[in-house]
């Protein structure tokens, strides 16, 4: 570049390869905090119900239970997300939601993240409904959905994220495999729900997750999400188109 050339006529400077750094989206995770608060409140109500009546009324009305679902208590494919069986159970799930939810809410946006949470929870409960007769409850179907969605997000945006993507994907795969192996090795864990939630997260994020591109001229560059306007709808429809017919199988060919 000619140092004596007027600034307005100089060509834009370009950074060396790999030197571009753009700020990641940040926001206060109100949706994540709200989901945690509602879930904790529901668990407190479960304990109060047991103390007053000797029966967990909320769980009786809301767990995933095949015969009740086939009596068209369809809400049981969603309500298990807010019900838990012990302090350890809810503590583990809410910690995982806190860890993963805050960053994912910033990247996906509040409404798309909320849709992701409910769609993957629904997917996990449908998978469990079709494949196992056992009653189940807990937010882990959606937690596994977040793992799957995050993995797809990292893969689809690996060029923008560069080296960070491959390391993070490896960590997610390791976490998912360890937890699934643990679930299949002990009794009382709805691992089919975990697998369904994972598949739901993969589907939602593949069709509706953030797809980033870098806009602007160095050094004024920023991230644009090509799916910002239609990601919520596309991701939700992808999950529903796959799992609603699967749910119909649970009505036609029950496992119990």
CATH number (domain holding residue 57): 1.20.1540.10
Is residue 140 part of the annotated active site? The answer reads: yes
| Helix or strand holding residue 217 (H, E) | strand 212-217
224 lies in some domain: yes
* Cis ω before 219 (30° cut-off from 0): yes
Range of the domain at 154: 27-252
Residue carrying the six token digits 């969605």: 149
pLDDT of residue 129: 97
Q: What's the pTM value of the predicted model, to 2 decimals?
A: 0.89
Predicted confidence (pLDDT) at residue 213 exceeds the cutoff of 80: yes
Number of domains the chain is built from: 1
- Residue 89, Cβ density class (10 Å: 0-12 exposed, 13-18 middle, ≥19 buried): middle
Give mean pLDDT, residues 181-208.
93
d(CA 66, CA 69) in angstroms, rounded, equals: 5
Pick the closest to residue 104 from 12, 35, 177, 2 (CA basis). Answer: 35
| Helix or strand holding residue 57 (H, E) | helix 57-62
81 lies in some domain: yes
pLDDT of residue 4: 45
pLDDT in tens, 109-153: 999 999 999 999 999 999 999 999 999 999 999 999 999 999 999
d(CA 43, CA 65) in angstroms, rounded, equals: 19
2 lies in some domain: no
Q: Which residues pair with 221 in a beta bridge?
A: 216
20 lies in some domain: no
220 lies in some domain: yes
Catalytic entry in 140, 166, 187, 220: 140
Mean pLDDT of the chain: 90
d(CA 27, CA 209) in angstroms, rounded, equals: 17
119 lies in some domain: yes
Q: What are phi and psi of 223, to 5 degrees?
A: -95, 135
| 154 within 8 A of 168, measured Cβ to Cβ | yes
15 lies in some domain: no
CA angle 188, 241, 204 (to 5 degrees): 70
d(CA 121, CA 140) in angstroms, rounded, equals: 8
Catalytic entry in 84, 128, 136, 194: 194
Helix intervals (H) in 109-230 = 110-131, 140-156, 158-161, 163-185, 191-208
- Residue 221, Cβ density class (10 Å: 0-12 exposed, 13-18 middle, ≥19 buried): middle
11 lies in some domain: no
Q: How confident is the model at residue 21 (pLDDT cuts 50, 70, 90)?
A: low
pLDDT of residue 20: 55
Q: Which residues pair with 136 in a beta bridge?
A: 64
């Amino acid at each position: 570049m000619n140092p004596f050339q007027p600034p307005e006529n100089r060509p834009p400077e370009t950074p060396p390869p790999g030197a571009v750094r753009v700020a990641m989206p940040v926001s206060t995770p109100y949706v994540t905090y709200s989901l945690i608060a509602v879930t904790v409140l529901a668990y407190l109500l479960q304990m109060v119900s047991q103390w007053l009546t000797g029966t967990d009324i909320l769980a009786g009305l809301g767990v995933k239970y095949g015969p009740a679902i086939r009596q068209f208590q369809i809400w049981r494919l969603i309500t298990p997300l807010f019900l838990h069986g012990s302090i350890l159970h809810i503590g583990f799930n809410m910690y995982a939601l806190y860890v993963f939810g805050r960053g994912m809410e910033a990247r996906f946006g509040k409404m798309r993240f909320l849709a992701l949470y409910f769609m993957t929870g629904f997917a996990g409960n449908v998978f469990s409904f079709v494949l196992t007769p056992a009653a189940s409850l807990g937010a882990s179907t959606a937690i596994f959905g977040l793992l799957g969605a995050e993995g797809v997000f990292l893969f689809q945006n690996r060029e923008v994220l560069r080296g960070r993507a491959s390391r993070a994907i490896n960590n997610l795969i390791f976490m998912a495999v360890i937890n699934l192996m643990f679930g299949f090795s002990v009794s009382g864990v709805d691992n089919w729900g975990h697998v369904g939630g994972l598949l739901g997260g993969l589907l939602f994020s593949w069709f509706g997750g953030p797809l980033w591109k870098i806009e602007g001229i160095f050094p004024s560059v920023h991230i644009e999400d090509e799916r910002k306007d239609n990601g919520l709808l596309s991701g939700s429809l992808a999950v529903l188109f796959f799992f609603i017919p699967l749910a119909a199988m649970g009505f036609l060919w029950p496992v119990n």
